[in-house]
Amino acid sequence: MQFDYKRDMEMVPQNTEHVLITGTTSGIGRGLMDFYIKRGAKVTAVNRRRDPDLESRYPSVQFHMIDVQDTRGIEGLIEDLAAHKNIPSTFILNAGINKVDNDTSFSIEAFREALNINLFGALNFAAPLIARWRELATTRVIAISSTTNYAANPFCLGYFISKKALTQSFEVFSEMYRNTNLQFKWVVLGPVLTPIATSSQKFPKIMLKIKDLFSVSVEQTAQALYDFSKSDRPCLIYPFRARILFRCLWLAQQLIPGFYRGRKTPLPK
């Protein structure tokens, strides 16, 4: 049954939690927005495009139309939230893309776009929060990374590199600001059943079957992310079994000649 704001919200006790989520027009971000709203939290959503249907379905959500690549736009948003003493207690930096950028030829544009959105899109939020760390109440900043960062995806090179760099950046921030109110956390997600583009069709069918075994639903992911956001742990790997899959892939890439390319047919001459 679809979420109906009027019907379902009457039953929900309101709480004071305020969460900002990027990329709520689909997939995990949308699932998270739904999850938090049903728990009575205040939600601020940052999306690159307007979706009137979504906005009418979630009338209590504050929607901001900002592309996460827009450094100035995000600085302005944080400034505005700070000026109104309305900085969210949790930021979930979820917006991301996955593109094939290295198939029969390498696309520098697609590679750059993946880094601009997946890596710089998250750092654009981290920078103005770090600049204010002394004045913040407890603020959790959560990056959504991927198990892809364990094993190179030769077709989606920008995705792999961006998620690896994102994970490493948040590991460093987490250590640097460990004893402050600004808590950096990161989530390493395995396959989640969303419409995000993947390079799956490039891999042998058996790989797709194996991948299905390791997939989780958006609802399960939202619950796991919520529980994690409340914990003191800096990092969540979810579902944990996906780590085993991607670590095995990494090992196979090191040990089996040709496996690295993951290609069914050789490059055309």
Ligand X SMILES: NC(=O)c1ccc[n+]([C@@H]2O[C@H](COP(=O)([O-])OP(=O)(O)OC[C@H]3O[C@@H](n4cnc5c(N)ncnc54)[C@H](OP(=O)(O)O)[C@@H]3O)[C@@H](O)[C@H]2O)c1
For residues 177 and 246, which CB has a smaller minimum distance to ligand X in the complex? Answer: 246
How near is the Cβ of 181 to ligand X at its closest, in Å? 25
Calculate the alpha carbon distances from 148 to 10, 100, 132, 156 in Å: 41, 14, 32, 10
For residue 170, the tally of other CB atoms under 10 A from its CB is: 24
The dihedral formed by the CA atoms of 142, 23, 136 and 40, expressed in degrees to the nearest 10: -90
For residues 29 and 129, which CB has a smaller minimum distance to ligand X in the complex? Answer: 29
For residue 194, the tally of other CB atoms under 10 A from its CB is: 16
How near is the Cβ of 102 to ligand X at its closest, in Å? 17
For residues 87 and 216, which CB has a smaller minimum distance to ligand X in the complex? Answer: 216
Q: What is the binding site for ligand X (CB under 6 A)?
A: 22-29, 47-49, 67-69, 94-98, 117, 121, 144, 146, 189, 191-192, 194-196
Amino acid at residue number 172: V
How near is the Cβ of 30 to ligand X at its closest, in Å? 7
For residues 41 and 114, which CB has a smaller minimum distance to ligand X in the complex? Answer: 114
C-beta of residue 247 within 8 angstroms of C-beta of residue 53:
no
How near is the Cβ of 250 to ligand X at its closest, in Å? 16
How near is the Cβ of 79 to ligand X at its closest, in Å? 19
Calculate the alpha carbon distances from 153 to 66, 99, 146, 148, 262 in Å: 29, 11, 11, 7, 8
How near is the Cβ of 235 to ligand X at its closest, in Å? 14
For residues 128 and 180, which CB has a smaller minimum distance to ligand X in the complex? Answer: 128
How near is the Cβ of 100 to ligand X at its closest, in Å? 14
Q: Which DSSP string corresponds to 126-192?
A: HHHHHHTGGG--SEEEEEEEEGGGGS--SSSHHHHHHHHHHHHHHHHHHHHTTTSSEEEEEEEE--B
How near is the Cβ of 198 to ligand X at its closest, in Å? 7
Amino acid at residue number 91: F
C-beta of residue 38 within 8 angstroms of C-beta of residue 21:
no
For residue 116, the tally of other CB atoms under 10 A from its CB is: 17
Interatomic CA distance for residues 264 and 92, integer angstroms:
37
For residues 96 and 158, which CB has a smaller minimum distance to ligand X in the complex? Answer: 96
Q: What burial class does residue 221 get, using C-beta atoms within 10 Å of its C-beta: 0-12 exposed, 13-18 middle, 19+ buried?
A: buried
